[in-house]
Structure 1
Amino acid sequence: MSTASASPDAPAGRSGSADPVARRRRDERRRDRIVLGALVFATLAIALLALYLGSSSVIFSDTPHGTLGGLLEALRGDGPRAMIVREWRLPRVVAGLAFGAALGASGAIFQTLTRNALGSPDVLGFSTGSYTGVLVATVLLGAGGLASSDSALAQAAASLGETGGALLGGIGAAILVYVLAYRDGIQGFRLIIVGIAIAATLSSVNTFLLLRAKEEVAMAASIWGAGSFDLMSWPALLPALAVLVLLTPAVIASVPVIHQLELGDDTAAMHGVRVERARRIVLLIAVALVAVCTAVAGPIAFIALSAPQVGRLLVRRPGIPILPAALVGALLLTSADVASQQLLPQTVPVGMVTVVLGGVYLVALLLAQSARSLRRRV
């Protein structure tokens, strides 16, 4: 009798225990949609602000449709106003959105592979390796148009030799770091230490190459090396966008593998993942994302370092989600570009602004980690 009366209660008990889990998952999905929607809205708003402000004074309020209508009219119309918006400002805005998203996604992949908040392509030396590849192609092999007096950065970006140099340099740095850090597998902390050493070495190589270059080449390469959108144009940008579009399916396809690697090498291997092979493929994809951005705009620091952690804090999930990191990267880089043009007495390369913001973020990150270590000891 007691057994019969208890048996109907057992399924109800299981159902009741599952309800909070299902409710929590629904709440998490709802929060994710809200956060992603807010990031998309903020990114589009800063992009429109960048089109409106720019570095040249263009007034849209005198148009019959108002500011926003005048901006849209300039995008599809003709005349000087349309030229300024469509040919000067829009490539710069699109570059900020696309490259920021690529750097954010790349940083999320690197931080997942290293299981460390300091794991990013600029810290690991891959961005520096891409810069080295461009300098080798330009200074030693004479490829591209860094020496062009009219459009130095656009010529450098459009040159196939320099783009290939960035890809080969980034991949070469990744291979070197991987080989030197490999000891019966890859440990995140060892990868970061080796990457910092390789980045320092490659920085010395870059300085040596700049000293050997002609004066006009060295000056253009130094400005480009700070990370700049100043001479961004559609001929320079479209090939890079095409490569990023081709890499997007590879990034999406790698997400399940990345989630498996987050669980640890042993667990991933138990689920059928060939760990080292998967890590090498994912690493190659992340390096390609960085190299494409570096080939066009130069090395832009700290976006790949900070965007994944900011995205993780916003969605409040374990692990480092790639989509929020990409959206935060697009927002940060576009905002930094607006700040480099509007908030300073003189226009500076966007890479200088990201370095300052990244330095503040890095100090805050180190202080937070120190505070957590102290709490654990107490």
Structure 2
Amino acid sequence: MTVAEQTRPGGRWTRTGVTPTDRAVTIGRYTVRFDRRATLVTAILLALVVVLVAVSLMVGEYQVGPGALWDVLTGTPQRRLDRFFVMDRRLPRALVAVGVGGGLAAAGAIFQRLYNNPLASPDIIGFTSGASFGAVFVLLVLGGSLTFGAIGAAVGALTTFAIIGVLTVLGGLRGTRLVLVGIALGALATSATSYVLSQAYLPSAAVANTWLIGSLSGRGWGHVAAVAIGIALVTPVIVLSNRAFHALDLGDTVAMTLGVRSGRARMALMLAATILVGLSVAAAGPISFIALAAPHLARGITRTPGAGILPAACVGALLLGVSDLVAEHAFPAPVPVGVITVSIGGVFLIWLLVREGLRHRV
């Protein structure tokens, strides 16, 4: 049975069985259930992602027309500049935007379902802050390059995961208390980052500060490869944990009855989400609010409170891709994409808090 989620006026998430629009496809011994509307919306979102990438390849100070773009992508460019701007400058940046946006959104969807809290996202519960501190520590204290800074970001995210995992096992933390612990860890990591920045050599601190805003400028094929490898490693874990994911939606007691080891399943999914966060921060810096907003928007447009990870990832890819286009072309001079996502995300967070407050009053 497929598990779907519904939100009642109190703002908490409850679970039901098969939704009215569920359909099943049998392949051999396996039966796969899917929601027709969610599947259609996901297909449309994927098509929009492709369109967004194509637009990103054509617009800019050097214009590339649809015909010239097709020639470049098919390996028959008419002009060298067309190939340079498309393949060397714009395509890597567009792919990193799609990969990072999708990775952050997928991580946010996992955290929100595991924590059973609509405000749970890596940039709120400390994982992004931990990754940022890891990168800044490597860059400014150890004097490492941006490549080693990326490794530091991944280590910082995994360290945060380890601390929360230990606290979960020892203290039995769940739900809201676990979110509050994550917020406290994020505050400590942010404070430590600020201290390191205040003590660093000014030019180096300026470089690190720019990175901390979140930017896709100068991204190349090395960044694309890192994000792609990370997504390829994490995707099988998420797919194989799908049954456990649905069982956990019903609660730990029911999950154990169904033969799912809830603690192990939660840790596996949290580790997968943490890897996505670490790689995303390593590739583009701490992009804020994509992980928070995208799952909510995916649930809204699919009209499925339990919308899957793929719709959320598509929405996240679109959000970051559009934000990057705005950051690059809507101002007299390009600005870091993190400025755009923070501005949009701040408004979204206020709206979300107000909405939750009104629901609790009903």
Name the TM-score class by shorter chain: 0.7 to 0.9
> In the TM superposition, what is the alpha-carbon distance from 1:168 to its structure 2 partner?
1.4
Quickly say closer, same or farther: Cα 1:274–1:80, change in 2 above 3 A. same
Report the AA paired with residue 368 of structure 1. R
Q: Which residue does the alignment assign to 1:289?
A: 276
Q: Which residue does the alignment assign to 1:64?
A: none
8 Å CA contact retained: 2:111, 2:121: yes
Q: Which residue does the alignment assign to 2:51?
A: 45
- For 1:286 and 1:198, how far apart are their aligned partners in 2? 17
8 Å CA contact retained: 2:238, 2:272: yes
Q: Which residue does the alignment assign to 1:74?
A: 72
Quickly say closer, same or farther: Cα 1:24–1:278, change in 2 above 3 A. closer
- 2:157 maps to 1:131: no
Report Cα offsets for 1:73-106 as digits up to 9, x if no partner. Answer: 2343351221011111111100111111111111
8 Å CA contact retained: 2:100, 2:227: no
- For 1:199 and 1:23, how far apart are their aligned partners in 2? 41
8 Å CA contact retained: 1:121, 1:290: yes
8 Å CA contact retained: 2:126, 2:186: yes
Report Cα offsets for 1:238-272 as digits up to 9, x if no partner. Answer: 23322222222122222222111111111111111
8 Å CA contact retained: 2:69, 2:82: no
- For 1:32 and 1:24, how far apart are their aligned partners in 2? 9
- 2:323 maps to 1:336: yes
Structure with bigger strand share is 2
Q: Which residue does the alignment assign to 1:115?
A: 116
| SS of equivalent to 2:124 | helix
| SS of equivalent to 1:231 | coil
**Count of residue pairs the alignment pairs up:** 333
- For 2:279 and 2:353, how far apart are their aligned partners in 1? 30
Deviates more, 1:90-99 or 1:165-174: 165-174
Q: Which residue does the alignment assign to 1:268?
A: 255
> In the TM superposition, what is the alpha-carbon distance from 1:296 to its structure 2 partner?
1.5
Q: Which residue does the alignment assign to 2:9?
A: none
- For 2:242 and 2:62, how far apart are their aligned partners in 1? 43
Deviates more, 1:182-191 or 1:217-226: 182-191
- For 2:71 and 2:200, how far apart are their aligned partners in 1? 45
Q: Which residue does the alignment assign to 2:344?
A: 357
Decide which structure has the larger Cα Rg and report it. Answer: 1
Report the AA paired with residue 344 of structure 1. F
The gaps in structure 2 that reach 5 residues or longer are 1-17, 25-33
> In the TM superposition, what is the alpha-carbon distance from 1:216 to its structure 2 partner?
2.4
Identical-pair percentage: 36
Using structure 2 for the length normalisation, give the TM-score. Answer: 0.87
The gaps in structure 1 that reach 5 residues or longer are 1-20, 61-66, 145-155
Q: Which residue does the alignment assign to 1:250?
A: 237
- For 2:249 and 2:19, how far apart are their aligned partners in 1? 23
Using structure 1 for the length normalisation, give the TM-score. Answer: 0.83
Report the AA paired with residue 293 of structure 1. S
Structure with bigger helix share is 1
> In the TM superposition, what is the alpha-carbon distance from 1:58 to its structure 2 partner?
2.0
Q: Within 5 Å, which residues of 2 pair with 1:63-212?
A: 67-75=65-73, 76=75, 77=77, 79-144=80-145, 156=146, 159=147, 161-180=148-167, 185-212=172-199
- For 1:94 and 1:265, how far apart are their aligned partners in 2? 38
- For 2:163 and 2:258, how far apart are their aligned partners in 1? 29
Report the AA paired with residue 108 of structure 1. A
Q: Which residue does the alignment assign to 1:14?
A: none
> In the TM superposition, what is the alpha-carbon distance from 1:184 to its structure 2 partner?
5.4
- For 1:195 and 1:271, how far apart are their aligned partners in 2? 29
